[in-house]
Structures are given as C-alpha cells and as structure tokens.
Structure 1
Amino acid sequence: MNEQNLEYLKKSLNYLGFGTKLNDVLESAISREIPAFTLGVNQSYTSAQAKKGPVIGSDQMRVMLNFNRSKQSDMYFLNDYEVTLLKAGNALPIKQVFDLERDNRITALQAYKLLSGNALERDVYTKSENGEATENKKVWFKLNLDVQDAYGNHPLKKFYPEFKFDLSEAIDKYPFKGLTELGKEGMMKVLKNGNLAQADMLVGKKSIPVFVTANPQFKGLEVYDKSMVVIRQDDIFPKQEKVQRNDVSEGQSTFRESDLSAAKTEERFPWENQQDGEISQSGEIGR
C-alpha cells in the first residue's frame, strides 16, 4: 500500500469537510487493492431559517465519493463526488456531481450552499500553458437549479472579475432599513461565504424582515421574506420609481438594459461550465 498516497487522500478528505470519519474505511479499501470503490457519508446542516424556527428541522445531505486506482501505478485518486440534498420540508431531493478538478475542489459545505440556491465567492488560480499557477482571481459560483444537462447535473456557472459584478454596488441599490456601513460590510462577508444574510427592507413603504443572497448573474440580490418566499423586484422597486431608477429592469433583473446587453455579450467568457486552466486555492471551510 502506498502510504504517501493514503496520507494525501486523507488530507483531501479533511479539506473537503469530512474530517477523519472516512479514514478507516478508506485505508481498508486501499489495502484490499480494489480497482474502484465508493465511500458514503451523511452530513446534516441547519439552515438560517431553521435556526430561527427549530421546528423546521435540519437539511440532510448524502455524499458518495468515487475513488479509482491508476492503471500505471498503485496510486488512488478521488475524482468526484455525488451529493444528494434533502431540504427540510421538501419532498424531493436535489442531486449534483462535483468534479474536483473541473469544479475547483468545491467542499461539502460549499456544495450544500450551492444546492440550497446560494451563490458564493472563492479564490481560483488560473494556470499557464506549462501548467504552473499564475493569477489568483475572485470568482463567484452559482448553480442553475432550474435546468439539468445531459448528465443530470445542474450547470455550475462561474462569474469572473471580467463580468464586473460589484456586490457593494448591488447592495446599495436596495432599500435596506437601518443598514450601517459596518452592517453592510458584515452582510458582504456573509454573502461572499454563500450564506443568507438577514436584514430589514422597505417593501411597499413598509419595513419587513428579509433574507437575501447574492445574484451575480443579474448583478443584484435575491430577496426572500421570513418564510423564504421570493419577493419580486417589482414589489421592491415600484413602477413609478423605475423612471428614476434606470438601474432596475423588469422582473428579476436588477440592472439597466444596457448592462443586460453587455452581460449577454460577456457571459460566454466569465462563466463557463468548465475552465481547463484552473486550480483551486485551499482555504477555510465551514464559515
């Protein structure tokens, strides 16, 4: 058994958010020299709304990690893992396969946030032609949960700096009530980590508690009431105000039509389902 390879795989599992709970079954499978095997683990998460109302219950996530042995050596590789998420109160689970290399080593916690419909920002290194890491970029990730591709996966969109999504500017567009500069900084940190942020917002001239998450594709925010029902952009920005606010388009869009046209022109490049020249930067997990 290749001990160095085993230790590397254990570190990978720890980075991905599984700790040491799979170490024993991983070592057992490798010692038996199984050509390919799958390890399973259950994770439980508490959503923001469940924290305010424990009766909702926790979300349950099943992860199946796929390992393969090299045909040329005794080394094993973790190529991808399949996630099945059952949100509390939902009848049907959501499934997704995350390829470690293609999807920039998305962690289990990040997979949970993406499958919950949230966007998140993380560091991504691009690679030069000779394979060396070069530039570090801040990239937004979001799953399109409305569609599935030919493999049954939801397209993972990546929004690069060239897409020009400015979270600070996006927050400034919305009529938050009593949001201080310090509170805004805290909200930005929460949203960048892929979490729901809580705040008060003026909707129909009435201040109500809301949950918000980043929406990089439309350069704005997605807004929900306390029951996690979507609040339409038209309700936040009444029609009589649209003449004065050219930065808000009809429906879910929150930016000018000229910006939408530019975004459609740019979108082929800032968010592709696969970027061949990327590796992910190791970082914190679980915030």
Structure 2
Amino acid sequence: MDFRQIEAFVNVVKHRSFSKAADATYLTQPTISAHIQTLEKELQMQLIDRSRKEALPTAEGRLFYDYALTMLNTREQAVYSLQNFCLNINGVVEIQASSIPGEYLVPDLMAAFKREYPAVRFYMEQSDSQSAAEHLLARRGELGFIGMKREDGLIYEPLMKDKAVLIAPDNEKFRKKQGKALPLVEFAREPFLLREEGSATRKTFEAKLEERGIPSGALTVVAKMNSMEAIKRAVAGGIGVSIISELAAERQRKDRGYLIFDLADYDSDREFYLVSNRNITMSPTAETFKLFVLDQFGSSSEKK
C-alpha cells in the first residue's frame, strides 16, 4: 500500500467518479483505476462499487475512507513540519461553493493566494448553498463558501454581508421608477425568474413574500435557472424580473443591460460564510488558505 493508491481512492470517493478524481489530481483515469485495483488486491476486498452510474464506496470502502483521509492529511502535516513551510507550500485546495460566492468572490481569493503561493492548485465544485454544505459534511472538499448558515455541526465563519436587489429590464416602464426603492407588492405581479430550490437567495425571497401574505405560488414564474449569469442575461433580454444578490448585480457596470433597484420593505442583509468540517484533519495547504481568506476579510471564527 502506498500513498498514491490511498490518494486515488480518497478522490474517487470524494468526487464519486473516476474521471473527476483524475481531473482533481491531474492524472489520467487509467492511472486512477490501476491504483485502486492494486489497493483492493492488497487489502483483498472491493472498496469501490463499479456497478452503478456513480462510483460509490462499498461498506468496506466507507470504513476505510476515514482512515485513508486521516493518513493523507497526517502525512502532509508531517512533511510540512519538516520543511520551510512558507516557501514550499503546494498541493490542491478542494472547495465547495454556492453560486454567488463561487462566481463573484472565490476566484479573486484564489488569484490573490496563488500570487503568494504559486505552486498551489484549486479544485472548486459549485452548487447551491444547501448542496455545498451537504458535500462538506460528506467530506467532498475541505473548505466551503456558502450564503446561509445551517445547524449541521459545520464551522461557519462570517466573511461579508450582502443584500438582495431587484433587477429589471432596461425599458421605459422601469426607467420611470429609477432612483426609487420598490416595495414587494409593486413587482410581485411581474413575470419572474427564480433561482434553484436550494438557493439561499430564493429561500429568503419566498419567506419575505409569505410574511406579506403573498404566497410564492402566486408568482408568474417564467423561468427557473441555477446560473446567475443566465438570469442576468435573460432579464436584460426582457423576459422578466428577478431578485438576486447585490454582489452578483454588479452596480458599477454600465454595460450590464438591466436596471437595479433597492427593495423598500425587504430587510435582506445576509452573510457569506467560510465553512469547514470540524471532524476532519485539514491539510496544511487548505489551513493556510483558510487563514489567508479570514485575514482578507478581518473575520473572526464563529464555531457552531
């Protein structure tokens, strides 16, 4: 048994795919398969169930996974403790991110960190806030950037506040309203574009509607999308209006193609969080990136 085999196994379990594990480790799929086959032969047991669409661990594989992950991270901790850490930091930081921070926050943080540590690589998986948190609980990634806080045992560390805004087509009807903060009832009858079910922005919006006696089912929903850029382009094209993050709305862009309105009766400030799993030993590279991010935002740990 060697660490290349263990690393291959851990990545297949994390990503539920031989091909994605190969991408994450910059190896070929046949190499990943060969490592796992050799490991299974040595242990004399099957670790990965290959009969399904996804590559899932067998019962034996689930038992071995926690030990394998601990071995890899302990090895890396030991290596870095014997080296000049700051000069030699490298490896892959695996990130789970919800749509908005993944699109508009994390890339700049990656670039800034890589300027200090050029050998570091990143692997980021984007989904909605709920899925990103669940992936971290399942140990698919060491760090997350999420737009809501759950009671799930993860560590949530606040980074920055954000609020919701209304974006609308740049047409005569909405130009007359420019400079105003619009109440919910004024645009609730407009054709609407909504985010996916697990979106924190959507959950907050639907809760605000219910508070004002407007059932979410009463909206005229013309499209549901999980891409923020697709929503913005659709609104610019005149399909309807949408509630999105101010960070994603990009107020300073003059060529955005849509209008942005504050909401008069919509107390919607929320946090973006840096999230980690208290039950795993984080790799030194991920730990350094975490400290770097918290330093960028002047954040303090909020463990819950």
Fold shared, TM-score > 0.5 on shorter chain: no
Ranked by relative contact order (alpha carbons within 8 Å, sequence separation 6 or more), the top structure is: 2
Give the structure-2-normalised TM-score: 0.29
> Which structure shows the higher strand fraction?
1
TM-score under structure 1 length normalisation: 0.30
Kindly indicate which of the two structures has a greater share of residues assigned to helix: 2
